[in-house]
């Protein structure tokens, strides 16, 4: 084994991927042996009532883990008929992918769970997705596919539920706090979340360290801010209102070459590499200087995506467009595909919705995004996929 300290970062990642693939191949080998023990009824030979109890003692698995392995083994192994013929596994494409080391035990369990609600011909789609994404994303995809297949089915004949009445409970406590509890229907609850979430974001680090408030404290202060905003109703921000406006001052050469720093209107400086991301989301007025530090052009405030364009992006992307991400539109920024600093315009054809995590990732990594036939399409870094095969977010488009 090579000394990890002598490998490059790319080589280390590839080595990890190779190790995990080998581990999965060996897991598949173990499952085939488990399937054979189950076929023989070997638990009785050892005096146990079932095979998971045997495995619990032999390999010290928790009983629920042992049961999952036995269940997976049965799905990936073919039956032997009384005449000695071998039947295909219940999930043949899943079995094939697992044998290659492309799927983990957790992947197999989720694929099996998903396929209980889908016809057999959808296995290829689900397995193809599992080859690229984690089990949680596969479960979400399966739920969306199942919904599209059954959305036109007759409604169940359960007794009709009465409409939930929104309820509000409040009381003054002895310690001086005013305690509030609410029970809201889905529509009102979703609207409440949409209003509260932007106000409950962690505070930015302004030199005092990260925001250490837990979620309950942040949401409590956000609710207090919401009450204050309602008192000043004439000052409420418009729906889809713009973020704070900043003025960035930098030389033309630095802007063109993405080097140096930009000066903010509060006197702080930021690296030019961050200007691209800031220009996607904030209202930025660029003040470009010539060779003698004289203003050459004060651009119009057009980098921020207006509410009309954002509504079109929400209808098209339905949330973060990054493959495998399920973040809803309210958690997303509009990103300039062709960076504004490089001449990209603010338009639907040059925009994609990204959550904060993936927005930062696109700006700081080798991931690329393009619009292909009007659909956001992502290309992974070479270290992740040497062929850089295009990927799309099927979670939002499955429905």
**What does the alpha-carbon distance between residue 48 and residue 36 come to, in Å, rounded to a whole number?**
16
Average pLDDT on 51-77 reads 89
The b-or-e profile of 286-322 (16+ CB within 10 A means b, else e) is bbbbeeeeeeeeeeeeebbbeeebbeebbebbbbbbb
149 CB-side CA count, 13 A:
14
What is the tens place of the pLDDT at every residue in 160-177? 545 567 898 888 888 878
Highest mean pLDDT among 17-26, 287-296, 342-351, 360-369: 17-26
Maximum CA extent, the chain: 91
- Count the Cβ atoms, other than its own, within 10 Å of residue 366: 13
pTM flag (> 0.95): no
Through-space distance between the first and last CA atoms of the chain, rounded to whole angstroms: 47
Q: What pLDDT does residue 296 have?
A: 39
User: How big is the CA angle at 380 (ends 375 and 384), to the nearest 5 degrees?
Assistant: 155
> pLDDT tier at 124 (50, 70, 90 boundaries)?
very high
What is the tens place of the pLDDT at every residue in 352-397? 999 888 888 888 888 999 999 889 999 988 888 889 999 998 887 6
- 170: enclosing H helix or E strand: strand 167-172
DSSP secondary structure letter of residue 266: T
**What does the alpha-carbon distance between residue 372 and residue 147 come to, in Å, rounded to a whole number?**
26
310-316: long-range contacts, CB 8 A cutoff, minimum separation 24: 310/240, 310/334, 311/240, 312/348, 313/348, 313/351, 313/352, 313/353, 314/353, 316/348, 316/374
Are 296 and 252 in contact, with CB atoms under 8 Å apart? yes
> pLDDT tier at 348 (50, 70, 90 boundaries)?
confident
**What does the alpha-carbon distance between residue 355 and residue 361 come to, in Å, rounded to a whole number?**
10
> pLDDT tier at 276 (50, 70, 90 boundaries)?
low
What is the tens place of the pLDDT at every residue in 311-332? 788 878 888 999 988 888 877 8
Q: What is the dihedral of CA 111, 117, 122, 123, to 10 degrees?
A: 30
Q: Which of 312, 374, 286 is nearest to 337 (CA)?
A: 374
What is the tens place of the pLDDT at every residue in 7-39? 888 888 888 989 999 999 999 899 889 999 998
Question: What is the percent of the chain where pLDDT is above 70?
Answer: 73
Are 55 and 34 in contact, with CB atoms under 8 Å apart? yes
Q: What pLDDT does residue 232 have?
A: 52
């Amino acid at each position: 084994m090579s000394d990890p300290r002598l490998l490059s970062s790319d080589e280390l990642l590839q080595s990890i991927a190779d190790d995990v693939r080998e581990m999965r191949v060996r897991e598949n080998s173990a499952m085939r042996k488990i399937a054979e023990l189950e076929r023989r009824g070997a638990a009785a030979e050892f005096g146990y009532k079932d095979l998971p109890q045997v495995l619990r003692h032999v390999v010290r698995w928790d009983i629920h883990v042992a049961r999952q392995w036995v269940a997976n083994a049965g799905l990936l192994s073919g039956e032997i008929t009384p005449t000695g013929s071998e039947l295909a596994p219940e999930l043949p494409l899943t079995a094939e992918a697992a044998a290659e080391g492309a799927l983990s035990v957790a992947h197999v369990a989720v694929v099996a769970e998903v396929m209980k609600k889908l016809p057999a011909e959808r296995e290829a789609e689900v397995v193809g997705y599992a080859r690229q994404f984690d089990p949680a994303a596969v479960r979400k995809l399966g739920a969306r596919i199942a919904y599209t297949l059954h959305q036109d089915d007759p409604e169940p004949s359960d007794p009709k539920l009465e409409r939930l009445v929104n309820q509000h409970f409040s009381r003054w406590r002895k310690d001086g706090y005013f305690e509030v509890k609410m029970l809201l229907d889905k529509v009102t609850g979703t609207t409440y979340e949409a209003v509260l979430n932007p106000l409950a974001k962690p505070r930015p680090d302004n030199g005092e360290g990260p925001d250490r408030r837990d979620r309950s404290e942040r949401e409590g202060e956000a609710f207090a801010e919401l009450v204050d905003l309602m008192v000043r109703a004439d000052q409420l921000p418009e729906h889809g209102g713009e973020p704070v406006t900043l003025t960035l001052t930098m030389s033309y050469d630095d802007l063109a070459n993405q080097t140096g720093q930009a000066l903010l209107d509060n006197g702080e400086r930021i690296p030019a590499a961050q200007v691209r991301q800031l220009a996607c989301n904030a209202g930025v007025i660029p003040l470009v200087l010539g060779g003698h530090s004289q203003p050459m052009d004060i651009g119009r405030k057009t980098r921020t995506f207006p509410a009309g364009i954002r509504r079109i992006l929400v209808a098209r992307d339905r949330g973060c467009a990054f493959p495998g991400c399920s973040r809803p539109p309210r958690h997303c920024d509009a990103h300039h595909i062709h960076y504004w600093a490089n001449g990209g315009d603010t338009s639907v054809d040059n925009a994609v919705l990204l959550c904060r995590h993936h927005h930062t990732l696109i700006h700081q990594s080798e991931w690329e995004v393009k619009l292909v036939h009007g659909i956001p399409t992502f290309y992974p870094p070479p270290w992740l996929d040497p062929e850089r095969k295009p990927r799309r977010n099927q979670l939002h488009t499955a429905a």
